[in-house]
Amino acid sequence: MIRNALRIAAVSAVAVSLSACISVFPKTKPVGMYRFGQAEVSAPKGPPGAMFGVLKAPSAFTRAAAGDRILTSTNGEVAYIAGSRWVSPAFVLFEEAVARSFENDPGRARLIGRGEVAKADLVLRLEVRTFETDYVNGPKAAPEVVVRVRGVLNRNTDRVLVGDQIFEARVKAADNRVGAIVPAYDEAVAKVLGEVVGWVNAAGPGVKS
């Protein structure tokens, strides 16, 4: 009995000593999760007239920035910010921001989703061509967030081109920290979408674009 007790005590001591050195769940630094598209969008007041429907085609997004990683550019060299992610893929957050921008705007244009039973006068397609953090003054300086979007409007009945325009916003971050860069994305997206909403409102039926 004494021998068995000593054996159990020895095994327990080894287990305790090993547990002090080895962790089943290694300690890792948590990944920071961020979102954009929350800033209020202010669109120019459009011309008066009746409301009209706009069919929103899925947006095209630059492949390098479409996922959940935050893209940076320094003198032509691209990379992603380590330890930081968008809470959803960037293209998903962007589409949500577009929908909110039109929902909250009091103008004439109303987005119509695919499958929705409603008349669409125009078809809107957005191409996000640039969506990145640009270190224009070197890797240690506060960067600029660049959002460049091409908007294409077609008449729904015959696909005649109504408008084709580039919208761009450059917003300098307050500091070279992710916590300062993300608000710059928010501001840049809000600026671009404000211009897009105003442009679409002005291009509606019965109003010269």
* Confidence category of residue 29, pLDDT binned at 50, 70, 90: low
Q: Does the residue 185 lie in any domain?
A: yes
Q: Does the residue 27 lie in any domain?
A: no
Residue 207 confidence (pLDDT): 52
Q: Does the residue 11 lie in any domain?
A: no
Domain of residue 82 covers 32-202
Q: Does the residue 196 lie in any domain?
A: yes
* Confidence category of residue 205, pLDDT binned at 50, 70, 90: confident
Q: Does the residue 143 lie in any domain?
A: yes
Q: Does the residue 124 lie in any domain?
A: yes
Neighbours of 32 (CB within 10 A): 14
The amino acid at 100: R
Q: Tell me which of 16 and 194 has the higher pLDDT.
A: 194
What is the CATH number for 187?
Answer: 3.40.50.10610
Q: Does the residue 190 lie in any domain?
A: yes
Q: Does the residue 25 lie in any domain?
A: no
The angle at the Cα of 149, spanning 144 to 155, to the nearest 5 degrees, equals 165
Residue 4 confidence (pLDDT): 45
**What is the DSSP secondary-structure string of 73-133?**
EETTEEEEEEEEEESS-HHHHHHHHHHHHHHH--SSEEEE-TT--S--SEEEEEEEEEEEE
Residue 5 confidence (pLDDT): 41
The number of domains in the chain is 1
